[in-house]
């Protein structure tokens, strides 16, 4: 046995509940804006808005959208039993909105010169889901 082995183990993975109505509305829309307005707790809509703003060279707007998606996702994670750390699997589709919002928040923070925030988001993403970090940074 290693002297540095974690005997307590890692907390169980957190899997957010699916929101079929919001998911289907986002999939059917070319514009995530009305979806975010209709389903404001749906992180995936905010993540799409943030990613679109980043693609359009609007990092401040992206930061605001991403921060909203991130915080709404944190609320949902806590309701799902998350205690502030532990895996948030990328392969569980309902988790992807939060993970994408977190990634977009880090990217936007870096683009507006918030290096500490960008690093914090990058670390949080990697610690939550290395698979998400790899997929989103590819």
Q: What is the pLDDT of residues 60-119, one digit of tens each?
A: 999 999 999 999 999 999 999 999 999 999 999 999 999 999 999 999 999 999 999 999
User: How is residue 44 annotated by DSSP?
Assistant: H
Residues 6+ apart with CB under 8 A from 115: 109
Instruction: State the pTM of this model.
Output: 0.93
| Per-residue CA distances from 109 to 14, 29, 58, 62 (Å) | 26, 27, 12, 9
Which among 11, 18, 12, 15 has a CA at the least distance from the CA of 90?
15
């Amino acid at each position: 046995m290693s002297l540095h082995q974690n005997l307590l183990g890692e907390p169980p993975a957190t899997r957010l509940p699916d929101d079929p109505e919001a998911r289907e509305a986002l999939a059917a829309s070319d514009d995530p804006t009305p979806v975010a307005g209709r389903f404001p707790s749906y992180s995936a809509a905010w993540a799409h808005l943030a990613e679109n703003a980043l693609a359009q060279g609007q990092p401040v707007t992206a930061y605001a959208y991403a921060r909203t998606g991130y915080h709404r996702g944190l609320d949902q994670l806590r309701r799902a039993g998350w205690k502030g750390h532990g895996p948030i699997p990328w392969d569980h589709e309902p988790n992807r909105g939060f993970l994408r919002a977190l990634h977009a928040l880090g990217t936007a923070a870096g683009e507006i010169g918030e290096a500490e925030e960008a690093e914090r988001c990058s670390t949080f993403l990697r610690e939550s889901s290395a698979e998400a970090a790899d997929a989103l940074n590819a």
